[in-house]
Amino acid sequence: MDLKEIERIEAKYYANTFSRLPVAITHGKGMYLYDLEDRKYLDMFAGIAVNSLGHCHPEVVETIREQSKLLMHTSNWLYTLPQLELAQLLVESTELEKAFITNDGTEAVETAIKLARKTTGKKEIIAMKNAFHGRTMGALSLTWGEKYRKPFMPLVPEMKFVEYNDVDALKRVITDKTAAVIVEPIQGEAGVIIPEENYLKEVREITKEREVLLIIDEIQTGFGRTGKLFAFQHSGIKPDILCLAKGMGGGFPIGATVFSCEDFEPGEHGGTFIGNPLACAVANTVVKVILRDKLTENAREIGDYLLNELEKGGMNAHGKGLMIGIDVKDGKKSVLDLIKKGILTIHSGNTVRVLPPLIIEKKHADEFLSAVGDIKL
């Protein structure tokens, strides 16, 4: 089967939800992906900040093999051990109180909305302009951007938006109806937007002062990507509710909401696949390998190196750790030019996004930089 045939089948049978790049991947190993013709690509976006350990990491493969021999699903009518182990790992590594496992990021945000409304008895949630929090109706109501929202109106009421990185504007918009403020430590889908150094700390202070919950969405920044296990740790603060997903499963679909606020009662929240033993076993392995192999430190070191070299090369690059945006004239063209050089990235408008696996080494960074130099990004 060739790319043309794949495009034909997709157009005929698959929902028209994705504008794909012209590459069909069959397999991967470490930092590399391979297409139908066995062409090799350096993966510099890790499935949108997901494959933290690269592709087919031997310990992940082994975990899947062993856990699938034991148990893949039984539902939450019964206790299963990987789920409990993961909850403990998440609570201990975030220093929050309880964890709820989800299947992905948008569900982690849905869970946060319900917790915030339940805890405070209030309805209003304040999100940031240009934020991305997911595509289910609750999370979508906190996501900025006409293209995501318009066809699906009306969304969940009492959601408000305020300028990102503007503490005074946030102060003005909080009212006695506000249950929570939700914020990304770095806006990812918006094009790797980094707020002022003190922003998150000040948001924490205001939300405390006004007795409003702080939800931090670390679905993209979490699990080492920015050079700390969680990006909120750069600011020395703690959220009330933390949303996680992406890098946590290293490619296996899973997310979590970790919280220090009022808990649910049985029946108020749940789901058939919640805390699936196979997904939880993989996440346990992924998080332990990130911690054991000091991949957070690696993200900081290689991220600094990449950012410095890109800046030295005269590029308009911005980021933290391995979450980097490069502003270019034409985002899509740059991504397509990089593909011809055997490098995979993605773009948000005219920002090329660089989100490689946390296992990246200097030689991979150099391979990327050399391609970037060749195409004069």
Rg of the chain (C-alpha set): 20
368 is catalytic: no
Closest approach, Cβ 290 to ligand PLP, in A, equals 18
Per CB under 6 A, contacts with ligand PLP among 123-152 are 132-134
Catalytic pick among 217, 232, 259, 337: 217
Span from 24-32, 64-72, 74-82, 213-221 in contact with ligand PLP (CB under 6 A):
213-221
Closest approach, Cβ 223 to ligand PLP, in A, equals 13
Question: Which residues touch 62 (CB under 8 Å, ≥6 apart)?
Answer: none
Catalytic pick among 43, 45, 100, 132: 132
Among candidate residues 139, 232, 218, 194, the one with its CA nearest the CA of residue 316: 194
Per CB under 6 A, contacts with ligand PLP among 298-357 are none
Q: Is 104 a residue that touches ligand PLP (CB under 6 A)?
A: yes
Closest approach, Cβ 5 to ligand PLP, in A, equals 28
Residue nearer to ligand PLP on the CB measure, 142 or 372: 142
370 CB burial (10 A radius; 0-12, 13-18, 19+) = exposed
Total residues contacting ligand PLP by CB under 6 A comes to 15
Handedness of CA 329, 331, 333, 334 (dihedral sign): positive
Question: Which residues touch 201 (CB under 8 Å, ≥6 apart)?
Answer: 235, 236, 237
Catalytic pick among 122, 223, 228, 246: 246
Residue nearer to ligand PLP on the CB measure, 117 or 353: 353
Among candidate residues 49, 44, 106, the one with its CA nearest the CA of residue 222: 49
Partners of residue 326 on adjacent β-strands: 317, 352
What is the per-residue binding string for ligand PLP in 222-251, x denoting contact by CB under 6 A? -----------------------x------
- DSSP for residue 230: S
Q: Quick count: other Cβ atoms within 10 Å of Cβ 199?
A: 18
Span from 54-62, 71-79, 98-106, 269-277 in contact with ligand PLP (CB under 6 A):
98-106
Residue nearer to ligand PLP on the CB measure, 43 or 189: 189
Residue nearer to ligand PLP on the CB measure, 193 or 372: 193
Q: Is 213 a residue that touches ligand PLP (CB under 6 A)?
A: no
| 8 A C-beta contact, residue 267 and residue 119 | no
Q: Is 217 a residue that touches ligand PLP (CB under 6 A)?
A: yes
Residue nearer to ligand PLP on the CB measure, 46 or 372: 46
Residue 27 token pair:
């397999």
Closest approach, Cβ 112 to ligand PLP, in A, equals 10
240 is catalytic: no
Residue nearer to ligand PLP on the CB measure, 124 or 184: 184
Closest approach, Cβ 109 to ligand PLP, in A, equals 6
217 is catalytic: yes
Per CB under 6 A, contacts with ligand PLP among 172-201 are 184, 188-189
Q: How far apart are CA 31 and CA 235, in angstroms?
A: 30
Q: What is the 3-state secondary structure (H, E, C) of 17-80?
A: CCCCCCCCEEEEEECEEEECCCCEEEECCHHHHCCCCCECCHHHHHHHHHHHHHCCCCCCCCCC
Question: Which residues touch 277 (CB under 8 Å, ≥6 apart)?
Answer: 67, 70, 71, 72, 73, 74, 80, 81, 82, 83
Question: Which residues touch 14 (CB under 8 Å, ≥6 apart)?
Answer: none
Catalytic residues: 132, 217, 246
* Contacts to ligand PLP by CB under 6 A: 48, 104-106, 109, 132-134, 184, 188-189, 217, 219-220, 245
